[in-house]
């Protein structure tokens, strides 16, 4: 049984949630999002809580149950307060700057890498070695951060590269003479 699916999603003040059949729509101060729940689950809105339950006890229904509850929780949280990922650039000469809606990255290659900001996201560079990605869609924020990190993932010897702010890089010892 899903432990996540059992908990109802609490709707914070300032956010309105409407359930129309299998479609859940959340509207808040940051924007609005919609999620269509699988036919294997039932959704109900009762007194500021969204409850999800499986149609039957089959394995696919129970699998969709917890995922549907998490997706609804993510859209409710996203429209009330945005998701944010912070990246750090570690390395001599590594820097990032915004040029309009394009993020320009100097990562030690012979050319700069230009990353177009996806629709619905905001990218800010408060320092040349810091990138902050924010938006209401958790999946888009994580995907954009992963794509930027993939240009130069951190290496284990000196720790150079693009890393998440809270990421720990396991360091290796260099070659011995």
Query: For 127-140, what is each residue's pLDDT tens digit?
Result: 999 999 999 999 99
Q: Domain containing 137: what range? A: 83-164
Residue 83, token pair as written in the block: 């998701």
Q: Residues 158-172: pLDDT tens digits?
A: 999 999 999 999 999
Shared-domain flag, residues 61 and 89 = no
Strand partners, 55: none
Three-state DSSP class for residue 38: coil
Residue 88 lies in a domain: yes
CA distances (Å), origin 120, targets 19, 41, 85, 134: 23, 29, 14, 9
pLDDT of residue 103: 95
Domain boundary among 50, 80, 110: 80
Which helix (H) or strand (E) segment holds residue 28: the answer is strand 23-28
Residue 176 lies in a domain: no
pTM for this prediction: 0.88
User: Residue ranges of the chain with pLDDT lower than 50?
Assistant: none
What percentage of the chain has pLDDT greater than the value 90?
Answer: 81
Shared-domain flag, residues 124 and 149 = yes
DSSP state of 126: S
Residue 175 lies in a domain: no
Residues in CB range of 159: below 8 A, 6 or more apart:
90, 169, 171
């Amino acid at each position: 049984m899903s432990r996540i699916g059992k908990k109802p999603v609490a709707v914070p003040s300032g956010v309105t949630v409407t359930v129309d059949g299998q479609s859940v729509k959340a509207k808040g101060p940051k924007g609005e999002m919609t999620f269509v729940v699988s036919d294997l689950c039932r959704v109900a809105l009762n007194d500021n809580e969204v409850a999800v339950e499986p149609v039957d006890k089959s394995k696919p229904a129970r699998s969709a149950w917890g995922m549907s509850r998490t997706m609804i929780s993510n859209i409710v949280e996203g429209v009330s307060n945005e998701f944010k990922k912070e990246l750090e650039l570690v390395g001599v000469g590594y820097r990032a700057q915004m040029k309009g809606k394009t993020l320009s990255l100097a990562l030690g290659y012979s050319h700069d890498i230009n990353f177009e900001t996806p629709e619905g996201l905001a990218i800010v560079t408060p320092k040349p070695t810091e990138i902050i990605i924010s938006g209401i869609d958790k999946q888009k924020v994580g995907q954009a951060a992963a794509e930027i990190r993939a240009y130069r993932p951190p290496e284990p010897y000196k720790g150079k590269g693009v890393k998440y702010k809270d990421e720990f890089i396991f360091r290796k010892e260099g070659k011995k003479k």
